[in-house]
Amino acid sequence: MKYSWNYDFLNDEFDWGKKFNLIILAETLWYLVANIEGVFTKINKYLCKDGVVAIKQYFPKNQKYFNKYINGPDQLTKILSKLDFIKKTIVTINNNDRDVVCLIYKK
């Protein structure tokens, strides 16, 4: 038996029946960046009181396309702090042409 399920995170409402302690975003920011505040407002709705958001994201040093939204981890932290997310941990792996950043935010 095959199952198919489509859920538009931004536009669909779904009752998960519970809240989550951890939500992970891995290499997804660029797909969500045009409505980043809407995304994290929705994430906030699904997190437990002391829930955590873990983000792993590649930030190219010569980023060309999304600078007007997020030009790096510091700007992401500014945006999320306006939505009451507190940066707890940041780990950066530097490479020649990019930074791979792991960020953890607490609600």
Encode pLDDT of 15-73 as tens digits: 778 899 999 999 888 888 888 898 899 899 889 988 999 999 888 878 777 888 888 88
Largest CA distance in the chain: 47
What distance in Å separates the CA atoms of residue 57 and residue 28, rounded to the nearest whole number? Answer: 7
| pLDDT tops 70 at residue 4 | no
| pLDDT tops 90 at residue 93 | no
Spatial CB neighbours of 22, under 8 Å, sequence gap ≥ 6: 51, 52, 53, 54
Beta bridge partners of 87: 105
End-to-end Cα, the chain, rounded Å: 39
Q: In angstroms, what CA-CA distances link 11 with 6, 14, 28, 36, 37?
A: 12, 10, 17, 13, 14
